Amino acid sequence: MKILSCCTKGYYGRRGAIDPTHVAFTDGLRAMGHDVDHFDHYLSKRKIGTPRTGELFLEKVRSGRYDAIVYHTIFQDPAGIEPSVREAGRYAPTIAWNSDDEWKWEEKSSRMAPFFTLMFTTSPLVYEQNRARFPNLRISQWACLDGYGDFHRPKDLDFTFVGHVFGDRIEATRTLARRAGLRAFGHMSGRVTQPEFLYWPWIRKVTFRFPAIYGRSMPFEKLHEIWNRSRISYTPMECIGADLLQIKARTFEQALSGTLMICRQSPYLERYYEPGKEFVPFDDLDDCVDKVKFYLAHESERARIAKAYHDRTRAEHMWSHRFRKMFDEIGLRN
């Protein structure tokens, strides 16, 4: 099929790091044999504004003869995209992919749902509560892309976190670094070991020049390199700016690496992985510290759970599984 993938390429618009959604919705679809074009609606909006971005989007849709349009809704304004998305639906089925609906459903996603042929949410709770109100709403989930995980890579890092250190993660990662030897990598990861004054707004221009202290966003390949080397991976599930737990993309992205996932028991996570057998849940940071120490001291147990995590993902949670189900929903076949 010929598919137009609408998503941002840069991680939160930053250069030097590719957004995981772009990797999945371009490379992942191409790996399945689809002909994929890309349109960066976020970067275009920042450069030329929403109205002109909508015009360029429609020009591409009208001339592309696409079988489907996959549209990541993050950073999009409902009122701003309505005319272009509704018009695009005259040319091909439009498939919205939402993330973070746990905290943005009412304000944004629910207002965009009527514009699209189908809208997929990664929140089981949002789906259960709203599927009667929105007949075009479907449930899907993040997944893993083949080609990055290296299960047999020697594990020379004991306990790691890869990602953005902000909000509640600052104190959590500092505690785990002090008590369980956590090593953090990625944007703002220097917060774990460096004094907080280094991150005051007036000094950020200086610290940006010293990524070893400040911590820059990491290229997608580098994320996986850390996971491939890690015996245990800390996997926070907290929402941004809300006292809620959700299922994050890294839950699946790291799964082929041979690492053991340790995380708080997010609601509905047991639909995808079995606690204690395919991942290790913890109740609080004290419990996390105890379990990290246990599995670092018992390699056979750690490896057994990491292998089950890998196998379940390979069997059920690859992006190819998600996309096939997605296209089945609208009657499209490769």
Each residue's pLDDT tens digit, 151-201 = 999 999 999 999 888 778 888 999 999 999 999 998 777 777 766 555 545
Each residue's pLDDT tens digit, 121-155 = 999 999 999 999 999 999 999 999 999 999 999 99
Residue pair 256/148 in contact by the 8 Å Cβ criterion = yes
Distance CA 265, CA 55 (A): 44
Residue pair 311/277 in contact by the 8 Å Cβ criterion = no
What are the residue boundaries of the structural domains of the chain, listed by start? Answer: 2-143+318-329, 157-316
CB burial of residue 10 (10 Å; 0-12, 13-18, 19+)? middle
Are both 2-143+318-329 and 157-316 of the same fold?
A: yes
pTM (predicted TM-score): 0.90
What DSSP designation does 52 have?
A: H
Q: How many helices (H) and strands (E) does the chain have?
A: 16, 11
Residue pair 39/103 in contact by the 8 Å Cβ criterion = no
- Which CATH architecture does the domain made up of 157-316 adopt? 3-Layer(aba) Sandwich (3.40)
Q: Give the CATH number of domain 2-143+318-329.
A: 3.40.50.2000
